[in-house]
Structures are given as C-alpha cells and as structure tokens.
Amino acid sequence: MQPFNYLIADTLDAALAEYAENRPVLKAGGIDLVDRMKERLATPAVVLSLGEVEVLRYIEPEGEGVRLGCLTTLADIGRSELLNSRYAALAESAGHAATPQVRERATLGGNLCQRPRCWYFRAIHFHCLKKGGATCFAVEGENQYHAVLGGGPCHIVHPSNCAPPLVAMEALFVVRRAGAEERVIPAREFFVLPSSALDRENVLAPGEILTEVRIPRAPDQSATIELREKQSFDWPLAMASVARVDGRRWNVCLGAVAPVPWVSEEAAEVLGSADITPELAARAGEAAAQAAQPMSDNGYKTQLIKVAVKRALLKAAGQEVPA
Ligand SMILES: Cc1cc2nc3c(=O)[nH]c(=O)nc-3n(C[C@H](O)[C@H](O)[C@H](O)COP(=O)(O)OP(=O)(O)OC[C@H]3O[C@@H](n4cnc5c(N)ncnc54)[C@H](O)[C@@H]3O)c2cc1C
Ligand code: SF4
C-alpha cells in the first residue's frame, strides 16, 4: 500500500469543510476503500475518516417513516427491531450481506457508494474502460457475474445489497456539501448507468457526502430475496426487493443484474396494486426478466430474476415461499 496521511473528522462540519477544501478520499467503515488501496487501485495522498462522527450513526423513527444516519452499520440495520418489523426488505438484505465481521464495520453510506466488484476492475493489470482504457474485458471474457440488464459500454452489476430495498421503498438520500443547502435525491435517481458516466456509479458531485437515508413512509408490505451460489456468505447472483407503499402499486427493484438497482416497470405494470397470488407473482417474475439481454456466460440470471421476484412477492404477502 502506498503511504498516505490519515485525518479523522470528529464533527460533520469539520468533515464537510476538509472534504470540500482539500478533496481527501473519504473513508467510512473502510471495507471497500482499504481493499482497493491494498490492490493499488486507489492511491490517495490523504484519507479522511468519518468514523468518529458518532452523530451519523442512528436509526430514528420520524412521522410515518424512519431516518438512518450514513454511519449506521449493516449489523445495526440487520438487528433493528423497528426495521425488521416495518421495513423488512432492508433489514433482510443488510442483515444477510457479506459476513458478520464485515457487517459490524460496513456502513450504510459506504455500502451505497462502494465501487464495483467486476474482477477486471479489481485487478490492476486490466486497464478496462471504467479505468480509462479502451476495452470492456467482460464482453469477450469471463462475464458470468455481469449485467443482463442496462449494461454497456461497461457491464458491471451494482454491488450494494442495501440499494434495491431502498429504491423499492421510495427512500430519499440526503447529501451535504460545505456551504450549500442539503440536496435530497430520490434513491432511484441516485445511481447512474455506465452509458451516462463511466468513472462513477452515482450522482454525487465533488465535495458531497451522503449523510442520511430517509424512508418517508413505512411500506404496507415488503421483502427481499437474494439468490446466491452458496447459502453461507456470498455475493448475490440476483436479488429482488419488492414493496407496496401507501396502498399504491407495487415497486419491484432488482439487484446484482444491472449496473444500477434496476426498477422493473414491466413487473410493476403486471402487479398494479393487486393482492398477491402465486400465479400473479409468477407472471410478475416473467415480466421482470423480459428485457434481459444475457452475455455469453450469464444467461442463467434470466431464470434467477423470475425466481427472485416471485419469491419476494410471496414473502412480502406472507405466503409460502418455495425452498
Ligand atoms: C468478503 C466480503 C463480502 C461482501 N459481500 C457483500 C454482499 O453480499 N453485499 C454487499 O452489499 N456488500 C458486500 N460486501 C461489500 C461491503 O458490504 C462493502 O464494502 C461495505 O458495505 C462498504 O462500506 P464501508 O463503510 O466499509 O465503506 P468504505 O470502504 O469506507 O467506503 C466505500 C466507498 O464509498 C465512499 N463513501 C463511504 N461513505 C460515504 C458517504 N457517506 N458519502 C459519500 N461517499 C462515501 C468512500 O469514499 C469509498 O469510495 C462484501 C465485502 C467483503 C469484504
Ligand atoms: S464490466 Fe466495466 S469494470 Fe468490468 S471490465 Fe468491463 S468496463 Fe471494466
């Protein structure tokens, strides 16, 4: 790892001022950042740790919804009684992400802003499109874990477990920058496709910190289903988060199959605001997979989308979920 200076912010204002003025690299739990530094993919001269800003670690009910600070850990989310009882889609996906040790350190903000896990991106000797090169190596290479929806010219999948449930539950992301009004961004508008920007995965501008996630209204029903190669710790191959908010129509958001948390309008169209039956859940799954365009080795993900959506809807509706 290349030597670097390490600053520890003890207030949010101090962090915002330092971040705006000197543009250090931000560290929350450090799980993703330190990994990239060890691989020399990130070589910052200065790292600014948010870790001491304890006021950014909270889960607080507000009105009909809830607010979560960006330093809330995945473990905090997974074991919160409030989130498990009223925001199951999020508690399930955060509570089962990665390993118990990772979840104790990994923060909500860091999970949403982590960089892609594409193995070519993570290997220093592959100078791919996303790193300023000329080629996406996944197109002709090993692409079994890559996108089947929304890909091109880069075919990453978004790595965050927390993003799909937050999009499905119509969360808002609060962003702060020194000397500016806070910016409130709907979760589904926070993430950007590679066709819009290759060098980043979200709309954060220089100097901006994601400080809070708000879910304005608890969903009537919600659930997440994650499908993995093995049931102990593993990254999802496909996931689906579903939520019915305010008696209105169902939202369906897919994870691990597209460069952004993927909102399936096709599935939502099939579902409307109807009560879930196994037949309807299966039709929604079929609809969600309709637009999939697999690469050479990831055609299996089309089937996984169907299964994940169907199971998530059955689970949200309190019905039996096939094993
Ligand atoms: C073995 C293993 C398995 C894993 N499996 C999963 C999994 O199944 N699902 C999953 O979702 N993740 C998984 N992960 C990834 C892990 O969850 C993330 O790396 C972690 O959540 C990142 O959070 P952090 O607080 O450590 O972020 P950091 O590493 O501190 O930061 C990550 C990035 O976000 C930026 N950042 C951090 N906080 C903010 C903020 N508030 N505002 C703006 N930018 C910010 C940083 O500058 C950095 O670029 C796994 C990781 C490991 C090591
Ligand atoms: S999918 Fe994206 S990150 Fe991976 S090799 Fe292609 S351009 Fe690079």
Would you say how long the chain is, in residues? Answer: 323
Mutate to test the pocket of ligand 2, among 114, 117, 128 (most ligand atoms within 8 A of CB): 128
Q: What is the pLDDT of residue 248?
A: 83
Please report which ligand is nearest the Cα atom of 129: 2
Q: What is the pLDDT of residue 246?
A: 86
Please report which ligand is nearest the Cα atom of 157: 2
Cis link prior to 24 (omega < 30° from 0)?
no
- CA 143 – ligand 2 centroid, Å: 10
Q: What is the pLDDT of residue 233?
A: 85
CB contact set of 265 (below 8 Å; sequence gap of 6+): none
CB 285 within 8 A of CB 305: yes
Distance, CA of 254 to CA of 242 (rounded, Å): 9
Of 237, 236, 283, 277, which is closest to residue 264 (Cα–Cα)? 283
* 323 compared with 251, residue with greater pLDDT: 251
Beta bridge partners of 242: 223, 252
Residue 242 has pLDDT above 80, yes or no: yes
Distance, CA of 92 to CA of 255 (rounded, Å): 14
Range 233-246 average pLDDT: 95
Q: How many helices (H) and strands (E) does the chain have?
A: 13, 12
Pocket of ligand 2 (CB under 6 A): 116, 118, 120-121, 128-130, 136-138, 146, 154-156
Query: What are the pLDDT digits (tens) for 207-233?
Result: 999 999 999 999 999 999 999 998 888
Instruction: Give per-residue burial for 178-211: e unless 16+ CB within 10 Å, then b.
Output: beeeeeebebbebbbbbeeebeebbbbeebbbbb
Q: Is the CB of 26 under 6 A from ligand 1?
A: yes
* 323 compared with 39, residue with greater pLDDT: 39
- Arithmetic mean of pLDDT over the chain: 96
Which bin fits 23, alpha (ψ -120 to 50), beta or left (φ > 0)? left
- CA 148 – ligand 1 centroid, Å: 23
Beta bridge partners of 212: 69, 174
Q: Is the CB of 207 under 6 A from ligand 1?
A: no
Q: What is the pLDDT of residue 297?
A: 98
CB contact set of 318 (below 8 Å; sequence gap of 6+): 221
Distance, CA of 179 to CA of 176 (rounded, Å): 9
CB 12 within 8 A of CB 56: yes
Please report which ligand is nearest the Cα atom of 259: 2
Of 258, 65, 246, 62, which is closest to residue 151 (Cα–Cα)? 258
Distance, CA of 151 to CA of 157 (rounded, Å): 8
Neighbour tally for 247: CB within 10 Å = 7
Q: Is the CB of 143 under 6 A from ligand 1?
A: no
Global pTM reads 0.98
Distance, CA of 71 to CA of 28 (rounded, Å): 7
Residue 282 has pLDDT above 80, yes or no: yes
Percent of the chain with pLDDT over 90: 95
Q: Is 231 exposed, middle or buried (0-12, 13-18, 19+ CB in 10 A)?
A: exposed
Please tell me the residue having the least CA distance from ligand 2 atom 2.
154
Residue 323 has pLDDT above 80, yes or no: no
Range 127-136 average pLDDT: 97
Give the tokens for residue 89: 């889609």
Query: What are the pLDDT digits (tens) for 40-52?
Result: 999 999 999 998 8
Range 256-263 average pLDDT: 98
Three-state secondary-structure class, residue 110: helix
